[in-house]
Structure 1
Amino acid sequence: MDRPPRLFEGLRLPLVCAPMSYVSTLSLTLACCRAGIVAGWQGGLVRDIDEFARIIDALVEAEEAARSEGRLFAPPAVNLPAGSAMDAGVGARRLDLCAKAKIPIVISSVGDPTEMAGRVHDWGGYLIHDVSTVRHAERAIAAGVDGLMLTCAGAGGLTGRLTPLAFVPKVRSMFDGVILAGGGIATGAGIAGVLALGADLAVMGTRFIATHESGAVAGHKQMIADVGMADIVASDAITGVEANWIRPSIESAVGGSGAPPAAWDRGQRVTLRDGVRAWRDVWSAGQSAGLIDDVPTVAVVVDRLAWEFETATRPEAWRARLP
């Protein structure tokens, strides 16, 4: 099936709001689309198929309304596990709904995206696969994906270990598809930086957690605005898989369990207080939390980023900063 022409042409900024657990609500997704940036929605966590259908319908209706009124509406991107294409149950039904709505972008993660690529291409969509190593990138390219989302060092959630200074140019040297790159980005200059390295779009997550429209609880949003980079801890002690967590949130979640802070860094599993769940109650953020000190609306964030990006990309900007 034919692809939508110039899918990314109408973007205000070369930017994607990352799909995030407990954060990527319909409200945040719509706000990002209306602000002119690609909006990742974490569809893989929605097990209720009626709720999934409701959100897909709302995205389609919002886009149609915006187009009819001549307003900006950037494409949404639905995040699904790569194995959804081989799941005869909920996974298949979610993909059927995406196909019916002709969702323009699917971001796959965890696993082999080969079957997913074929399914998404059937309805004319783009498949972008999330990777954090060169080997995973090579496998995804061989699987026929249209793009790669490079999760680099400094990213929130399930973080990467590779610096974008090396990871992005390496992948660009072997792939001519769409490259997204994220990890520690919270400014327009950061967007310009990953584009200079060879990426087509930057990815931000933490900056959009701390917004009015985000689905994060108020305490999570404010904690991101309050902490510094030293408060971001990369550890596999919470779930068994390395992720970036906010230190005060871990301290609260561990409580009186007796697990010393040193255990977090050694990868020794910690015992959380009764009723406490990772991601929902133990909060994640990337190193860009050290660049964030407010909780504004998405529109304000994008306006600010646009100004910073324009400033950073002026031809003589680097000369102006030198003595």
Structure 2
Amino acid sequence: MGIPASLNQNLALPVICAPMFIISNPDLVIAQCKGGVIGSFPALNARPKELLDEWLTRIKSELAADPNAAPFAVNQIIHPSNERLEHDMALCVKHEVPLIITSLSAPTQIVPHVHAYGGKVFHDVISVRHAEKALEAGVDGLILVCAGAGGHAGTLSPFALVGEIRKFYDGPIALSGSITNGQAILAAQAMGADFAYIGTRFIATTEANAVEAYKQAILDSSAKDVVYTPYFTGVHGNYLTKSIIAAGLDPANLPERDKSAMNFGAATGAKAWKDIWGAGQGVGTIDEVLEAGELIARLQQEYRSAKTALCNNPF
């Protein structure tokens, strides 16, 4: 099926920028879209909740003024702890956000409202079972969060998950998991995905709402410095060891927690992401902080070079 026409406007690369808690803000989203990729942010990043209307108004206005800007997306967490969901979705409908990215529970109640104004819904999944539930809910695309992705991530190899889902689904797929350069974007397409889904690489940008110590930790870390644990939110995720140690915890001895412990809407929930830094296993390939537009231009050059090299390979 490929990329939907409504999301294929002015794309310089087949990339959706992952919505990162705290990190993704209007400055970053606007820079991403103006660079030619789909920018996104979690609705919960706009605090207090009344700020979301201002963010959406600003993003729409600035992108409308640029005829070359790509579409944008908003992430909605579907979980009982998210007391803002109804409020935030009403604003997304009001502003006709082109793409809604949903996480955790299947977006059965959200899809009809988004489709009513012509928007699309993509859902995060880490398994075939989650994909089937999302498709039953009527989503327009799947985001496969595979092993090595930053934040909440699954454990399946992208080769395994893409292959199994492509056996029964021919719609849009975005692939996540340690994608930090143009070569990896091309590889995602070669494996059967329509989009690469990139998060961690954009933490190391000037526009990202991350403290300088966090950005430096991204530059200083490699895959061995990433810990996979459910301790901080109740859902397994990848975090930088350095930040866990700084919080006075032992990365090798973190207790188990379950989903009932999640609280995305409260200050205590935000602290996990503020002080305990999420990152994917691709950090070892990130060496400098760039402006988002400069980063996207570099990704585009790497992508083109990789495609040329592959086409010139006799095999």
TM-score by length of 1: 0.87
Deviation at 1:90, TM superposition (A): 3.7
User: Which residue of the partner structure matches residue 224 of structure 1?
Assistant: 218
Q: What is the CA–CA distance in structure 1 between the aligned matches of 2:310 and 2:199, rounded to whole Å? A: 30
1:220-299 map, 5 Å = 220-254=214-248, 259-264=249-254, 267=256, 277-299=271-293
SS at match of 2:148: coil
Partner of 1:80: 76
Q: Distance in 2 between matches of 1:135 and 1:251?
A: 35
The one-letter code of the counterpart of 1:263 is: N
Greater radius of gyration (CA): 1
Q: Is the 8 A contact 1:172 1:179 kept in 2?
A: no
1:97 match: secondary structure: helix
SS in 2 for 1:294: coil
Shift of 1:58: 0.5
Cα separation, 1, equivalents of 2:257 and 2:42 = 29
Task: Give CA-to-partner distance per residue, 1:233-288, whole Å, 9 cap, x none.
Answer: 1122333322111111111011xxxx544314x7589xxxxx99311011110001
Corresponding position: 1:113 with 2:103: no
2:106–2:123 CA contact under 8 A, matched in 1: no
SS in 1 for 2:139: coil
Aligned to 1:208: 202
Aligned mates of 2:164, 2:293 — CA distance in 1: 34
Q: CA RMSD in A?
A: 2.3
Q: Which residue of 2 aligns with 1:272?
A: none
Which one-letter code corresponds to 2:48 in the other structure? D
Distance 1:197 1:105 in 2: 23
Percent identical residues: 38
1:309 maps to amino acid: Y
Give unpaired runs (5+ residues) of structure 1.
270-274
Distance 2:18 2:257 in 1: 29
Aligned residue number for residue 88 of structure 2:
94
1:202 is displaced (CA, Å) by 0.3
Structure 2: stretches of 5+ with no match in the other structure? 259-267
Partner of 1:40: 40
Name the structure 1 match of 2:263. none
Q: Secondary structure at the match of 1:155?
A: coil
Structure 1 residues 261 and 116, CA gap change in structure 2 (3 angstroms): closer
What is the TM-score when the length of structure 2 is the normalising length?
A: 0.89
Alignment partner, residue 16 of structure 2: 16
Change in Cα spacing, 1:169 to 1:311, as seen in structure 2 (3 Å) is: same
Residue identity opposite 2:190 in structure 1: A
CA drift at 1:317: 4.8
